[in-house]
Amino acid sequence: MNTLVDYVRSGEPDLTNRQMALLLVVYLNPGPHTVRGLARALNVSKPVVTRALNRLGSLGYLRRQRDDTDKRNIFVARTSEGAEFLEEFGQFIGDAEQPVARAGNA
């Protein structure tokens, strides 16, 4: 709980579970990623992925990239801002896992 409270207090954007899941799927799995493939991976509809992608795109964490070989296809690509966000989020988690020194136990 303290980790999430610290995260909220950090001023970083609040992401929904779906947005965070989408971000993690893109960053932790090799691409290329498409809206259809991401919807299948998350077991949600394409409009759900599109809404999450719109939010993550507005934050600069992911971007849409047109397929040069087939202009109808759109790939979802990583960004340096998204990588930085996940690195900082990981630090929140890592800091929470550190044991806390208690008085009298030193």
List the chain pLDDT tens, one digit each, 106 residues: 777 777 778 888 889 999 999 999 999 999 899 999 999 999 999 999 999 999 999 999 999 999 888 888 889 999 999 999 999 888 877 776 665 554 455 4
Burial class of 28 by CB neighbour count within 10 A (0 to 12, 13 to 18, 19+): exposed
Q: All domains of the chain, ordered by start, with CATH? A: 2-96 (1.10.10.10)
- The pTM of the full predicted model, rounded to 2 decimals, is 0.80
Query: How many CB atoms are closer than 10 A to CB 33?
Result: 23
